[in-house]
Amino acid sequence: MGCRGGGLAVAAVLVLAGAARAQMTLPDLPKPTGAELFKQQCQTCHTLKPSDPPRQGPLLLGIFGRKPGSVPGFHYSAGFAKADFVWDDSHLDAMLTNPQALIPGAVMPYRQKDPATRQAIIAFLRDQT
């Protein structure tokens, strides 16, 4: 009895160890944060620091609540002057989905078809004030 019980206990430990190992080798990949996504997907063209040298796109600090095309000194394409809204969640979502559909002639070569990725970036931008 003692012997048989010991064998079962060893077997149980081995099964548990195997399960633990399987979990360790198959981790869930952590989702990138909005900050990381901004860095990967926007930062080559946009900065959040007024002191940075100009890039291909305008400064995005404080974008929420601002009128399109309102960064002083940035030369926007013509469609921006006709855009009659302020940047909010839904307009930023439309911009990141398809800039030219929102602002005809916009020269931003970026499209993001994944809604969760767009939302993570927009939530990050909301905090950059």
- In the window 61-100, what residues touch ligand HEC (CB under 6 A)? 63, 68-71, 76-77, 80, 87, 92, 95-96
d(CA 54, CA 46): 8
Q: What is the DSSP string of 44-98?
A: TT--S-TTSPP-SS---TT-TTPPTT-STT----THHHH--S---HHHHHHHHH-
- How many CB atoms sit inside 10 A of residue 108's CB? 19
- The interface region with ligand HEC, picked from 1-9, 10-18, 23-31, 44-52 by CB under 6 A, is 44-52
Q: Tell the smallest beta-carbon distance from residue 29 to ligand HEC (Å).
A: 20
Q: Determine which residue in the list 36, 88, 89, 110 makes contact with ligand HEC, applying CB under 6 A.
A: 110
Residue carrying structure tokens 């600090």: 61
Q: Tell the smallest beta-carbon distance from residue 19 to ligand HEC (Å).
A: 40
Q: Is 120 in the site for ligand HEC (CB under 6 A)?
A: no
Separation of CA 37 from chain center: 4
Q: Is 33 in the site for ligand HEC (CB under 6 A)?
A: no
Helices 115-126 and 89-97 cross at an angle (nearest 10°) of 130
Q: Is 34 in the site for ligand HEC (CB under 6 A)?
A: no
Q: Which residues bind ligand HEC (CB under 6 A)?
A: 41-42, 44-46, 56-58, 60, 63, 68-71, 76-77, 80, 87, 92, 95-96, 106-110, 121
